[in-house]
Amino acid sequence: MDSMDNQEPKHQRRIRYEGTHPKTFKEKYKELQPEKYSDTVAKVIQKGSTPAGTHRSICVNEILEFLQITPGQTGLDATLGYGGHTQEMLKCLNSKGHLYAIDVDSIELPRTTTRLENLGYGSDILTIKQMNFSDIDQIVLESGPLNFVLADLGVSSMQIDNPERGFSFKTDGPLDLRLNPAKGISAASRLKTITQKELQGMLTENADEPYSEVISRAIISAIKKGIDISTTLKLQLIIKDALKFIPGNNRDDEIKKSCRRCFQALRIDVNNEYEVLHTFLEKLPATLAEGGRVAILSFHSGEDRLVKKSFQRLFREGIYRDIAPDAIRPTSEECNTNSRARSAKLRWAIKA
């Protein structure tokens, strides 16, 4: 027998983690395993960043202060995400009452479910379902009237950070942007079917993009030339090239902002986020018990306008007895330690 056959497979050592600037998402394995590398995670948070594969809940104190959750109540986290807000609300229930939690993300939902189960939250206190929050009326068929509801409309950090989801152009990945990759069409497919006028309108309506005409013409022109825009960096490159005329030292910063807005606009479109939010807001009052409280955390002007107008209209109609007079913003301390909190706005309403 050849001596080569008796040799054991050569051990493949994990890519060395330098502890400062790992290059790729997978190389950040220490951040992705917070239970094993708590010191590394703590250092990342201390720098004001969010560890890869995790999410830091925003406005937790403000939300809990308003919701006034007491043991024995029934509530809903309409956007489970990483489960940070859910965990805090469960603490308030103190094993008495019940919390329902829903999310459309078929990738992150099982991970969050396991994480919460490992923390001791079983079916006696917590029910988790994969569904869109526009179907909130289906929840109350099981739960009965809700004493409190929270909806955090932001995309979770673990979704943004994972290049395979296509939510960010920091690293290359498929231009997908779907919250549930099992449904609908990707952003890359959407661009193949859209007209220049439609794209321009999308960029304006969904993201208030000041260069919507220039960018939309560049994207459609590239598609007509047969250029494949199937990855995040390919789209970013077209946007950067279209905006190279911007003068002065602010060019790079302005281009980065436009890229963010374009990705936001596409994400809103492929997930029908405005339509879903409108349906949720219309169904919401009927799901609340008398005196039931709802808090909604939004992250851009389009969402905030929808929430604000809905709350104001239903307050005038006497359906809500009180609403937030103004949007509540995160404290400067929170923004300094978590940069993703800076655009957050919290509004609330109380059922009559």
**The tokens of 251 are what?**
């060019």
* CA 244 – CA 32 distance, rounded (Å): 37
Strand segments, DSSP code E, in the chain are 74-77, 98-103, 126-130, 146-152, 288-298, 320-323, 345-351
What pLDDT does 53 receive? 52
Q: How confident is the model at residue 4 (pLDDT cuts 50, 70, 90)?
A: very low
Query: H or E stretch including 335?
Result: helix 332-337
The model's pLDDT over 67-93, given as tens digits with 9 standing for 90+, comes to 999 999 999 999 998 888 999 999 999
- The residue whose two tokens read 């502890």 is 19
Q: What's the fold here for domain 182-270? A: DNA polymerase; domain 1 (1.10.150)
What pLDDT does 132 receive? 93
User: Is residue 188 over pLDDT 80?
Assistant: yes
The model's pLDDT over 225-282, given as tens digits with 9 standing for 90+, comes to 999 999 999 999 999 999 999 988 888 999 999 999 999 999 999 999 999 999 999 9
CB 269 within 8 Å of CB 314:
no
What pLDDT does 46 receive? 53
Q: What is the mean pLDDT of residues 168-197?
A: 88
Strands across the sheet with 288-298, in order? 126-130, 98-103, 74-77, 146-152, 288-298, 345-351, 320-323
* CA 239 – CA 259 distance, rounded (Å): 7
Count of CA atoms in the C-beta half-sphere (13 A) of 32: 14
Q: How confident is the model at residue 329 (pLDDT cuts 50, 70, 90)?
A: very high
- Domain 60-157+276-351 and domain 182-270, same fold? Reply is no
Average pLDDT, the chain: 85
Lowest mean pLDDT among 3-12, 227-236, 290-299, 319-328: 3-12
- The pTM assigned to this predicted structure is 0.81
What pLDDT does 341 receive? 84
Q: How confident is the model at residue 55 (pLDDT cuts 50, 70, 90)?
A: low
Q: Distances from the Cα of 59 to the Cαs of 1, 63, 241, 247, 340, in angstroms? A: 67, 6, 38, 38, 11
* CA 253 – CA 264 distance, rounded (Å): 17
User: Is residue 29 over pLDDT 60?
Assistant: no
Domain boundaries, the chain: 14-46, 60-157+276-351, 182-270
Q: What's the fold here for domain 60-157+276-351? A: Rossmann fold (3.40.50)
- The residue whose two tokens read 């050592």 is 13
* CA 283 – CA 135 distance, rounded (Å): 8
The model's pLDDT over 307-322, given as tens digits with 9 standing for 90+, comes to 999 999 999 999 999 9
Say how many Å lie between the first and final Cα of the chain, rounded.
Answer: 84
The model's pLDDT over 138-174, given as tens digits with 9 standing for 90+, comes to 999 999 999 999 999 877 666 666 666 766 777 788 8
